[in-house]
Amino acid sequence: MMAITRIFSQSHTYPGGRPEVPIRIHRQSGRPFTVIAALDTGAYMSVFDHAILPTIGINNVTTGKRVWLTAANGQQDQGYEHSLKIEFLGRPMTIPVAFCPAWPRGMPNLLGNAGFFGQLIIAFEHGFKRFSV
Amino acid sequence: MQELDWLSKNRHSLQGFAGLWIGILGSRIEASGQSFEEVERDLGAMRLSDALIVRIPEDTRWDYLIA
């Protein structure tokens, strides 16, 4: 057996039942703003609430790359992928995010594997409601 | 993370905001409104762009599963 050691620079606890973090979203002009996003290791890609689109200057969601999104209940809907500049625990990142007009406003923002976890080394200790990055 | 902690501890007492968006800074609700844009605009006018913006669902069973 081989021991693998990783050194993480930050450790955070999350208060609720799932790992959620505040993230800053930057827009083309104007102040960044802060929303909650869930660290969803089961999600193929990040999907955010389309309610934020006008605020980040995207008035026509369909200008993004078309993708199919599958919800946890198996329902498939069309989404559109856009590139977003975010700040995750002080780290500036640019990630692909899909928006699905058919999904309700106020849905949880989900940070998924493609383009987000792919840029990080992150470890979860769910028993302690803690993650390290 | 202070706002997340506060939200986690107080989410069951936020039923008066069900269906609304709110802006939280520290342990205070600084703005509320019908839309994300409205709350973000109000927070910006107050120069509180660090506030956390979140929608309070009508269904207060917050521990629903999404995946």
pLDDT in tens, B3-33: 999 998 898 889 899 999 999 999 999 999 9
**To the nearest whole angstrom, how far is the Cα of A56 from the nearest Cα of chain B?**
10
Mutation site, B4, B20, B24, interface A, largest A CB count within 10 A:
B4
Cα A101 to Cα A90: distance, rounded to the nearest angstrom = 29
**To the nearest whole angstrom, how far is the Cα of A18 from the nearest Cα of chain B?**
9
pLDDT grade, residue A107 (50/70/90)? confident
DSSP, residue by residue, chain A: --------S-EEE-SSSS-EEEEEEE-SSS--EEEEEEE-TT-SBEEE-GGGTGGGT-S-GGGSEEEEEE-TTS-EEEEEEEEEEEEETTEEEEEEEEE-TTSPTTPPEEE-TBTTGGG---EEEGGGTEEE-
B39 touches chain A (CB under 8 A): no
A42 with B67: Cβ contact below 8 A: yes
Which of these, A33, A101, A118, A108, lies nearest to B51 by C-alpha position? A33
Q: Is this complex scored with an ipTM above 0.90?
A: no
Look at residue B63 in the predicted model and tell me its pLDDT.
47
Q: What is the rounded (10 degree) CA torsion for A75, A80, A86, A88?
A: 20
Q: What pTM value is reported for the model? A: 0.89
Percent of chain B with pLDDT over 90: 66
Mean pLDDT across chain A: 93
A35 with B52: Cβ contact below 8 A: yes
A33 with B53: Cβ contact below 8 A: yes
B35 touches chain A (CB under 8 A): yes
**To the nearest whole angstrom, how far is the Cα of B13 from the nearest Cα of chain A?**
15
Structure tokens at B51: 């506030």
